[in-house]
Amino acid sequence: MNIRWLDTIDSTNSEALRRLPELPHGTVIAALEQTAGRGQRGNTWFSEPGRNLTFSLVLKFGPEGLPPASALPPLAAADAVRLNYLASLTVARFLQDQGVGCTVKWPNDVYAGRRKICGILIENALDGAFLASSVVGIGININQRDFPQLANATSLRCLTGKEYSLEECLQQVLAHIEALLPALHEGQRLFADYSALLFGRDVNARYHDLLTDREYTGVIQGVAPDGRLCIRDLDAPGQPLRYYRFKEVGFIL
Ligand code: BTN
């Protein structure tokens, strides 16, 4: 993979999207500082300059038969959820290498205990029923010590007491991505490994159904093969399991 380190940029995802046509498959845009880091649901991603990993990986999907260095084989848009699994698993494996146990809060926040250590923002472009490209944006809190704006954030430094080289951490994360990339086209493997890491599985907790604006106690049963989160509603016994797409349910932590 071809890493381009920037001192400062508004957002590595925005930069990758602006320059997408000219950026080769496998380009990684990493920044020491993001002035307008973007999170899911239009949120801002806050990261202390020079202390954390903030980067975006450009993936391009080609017609069958292109050399692997220039594009991945075609991937159906219906299978795009596998990119979530891949990115979450990559970060989880990197953290496990550092001795930090973690879970993945659906769809793709990585948690250490009850604190968030990584956020992922994936932005896809489609070509009909297939993916044309994907910008996989990953922010991992590495050396930051304090999170004044964020009540439930943590970093590797907070958890292990050690300082890390951002360059080395990025290399390690990318090695995990490379190892997992072939599984994107394999179906079940990423799904099974992701499911095993699911935050809140088999635990009673409060959820907010955003479709009906109702809060209830439920238990996550798992993730459906299409990526929907499956929750048993304990306040409505006898009702069918509830299935949610992104932005249809909130965790009350
Ligand atoms: C979230 O948890 O809401 C997703 C956060 C994603 C943050 C990363 S940092 C690198 C990349 N560039 C961005 O602007 N966002 C992603």
Q: Are residues 220 and 112 in the same domain?
A: no
> What is the predicted pLDDT for the residue at 198?
96
Q: Are residues 9 and 96 in the same domain?
A: yes
Closest C-alpha residue for ligand 1 atom 2: 119
Domain that residue 136 falls in: 2-196
Q: Are residues 29 and 51 in the same domain?
A: yes
Q: State which of 179, 196, 213 marks the end of a domain.
A: 196
Q: Are residues 42 and 125 in the same domain?
A: yes
Q: Which residues line ligand 1 (CB under 6 A)?
A: 11-13, 34, 37-40, 43, 45, 54-56, 109, 119-121, 137-139
Residue 226 pLDDT > 90: no
Q: Are residues 189 and 209 in the same domain?
A: no
Closest C-alpha residue for ligand 1 atom 7: 139
Digit-coded pLDDT (tens) for 168-199: 999 999 999 999 999 999 978 899 999 999 99
Closest C-alpha residue for ligand 1 atom 16: 137
Which of 45, 120, 144, 169 maximizes ligand 1 atoms within 8 Å of its Cβ, making it the mutation to test the pocket? Answer: 45
pTM, two decimals, is 0.95
Q: Are residues 28 and 101 in the same domain?
A: yes
Q: Are residues 209 and 192 in the same domain?
A: no
Residue 67: pLDDT band by 50, 70, 90 thresholds? Answer: confident
Digit-coded pLDDT (tens) for 137-169: 999 999 999 998 888 999 999 999 999 999 999
Q: How many domains does the chain have?
A: 2
CATH number for the domain including 120?
3.30.930.10
Q: Are residues 101 and 137 in the same domain?
A: yes
* Percentage of the chain modeled with pLDDT above 70: 100
SS (H, E, C) the chain: CEEEEEEEECCHHHHHHHCHHHCCCCEEEEEEEECCCECHHHCECCCCCCCCEEEEEEEEECCCCCCCCCCECCCEHHHCHHHHHHHHHHHHHHHHHCCCCCEEECCCEEEECCEEEEEEEEEEEEECCEEEEEEEEEEECCCCCCCCCCCCECCHHHHHCCCCCHHHHHHHHHHHHHHHHHHHHCCHHHHHHHHCCECCECCEEEEEECCCCEEEEEEEEEECCCCCEEEEECCCCCCCCEEECCCCEEEEC
Q: Are residues 117 and 242 in the same domain?
A: no
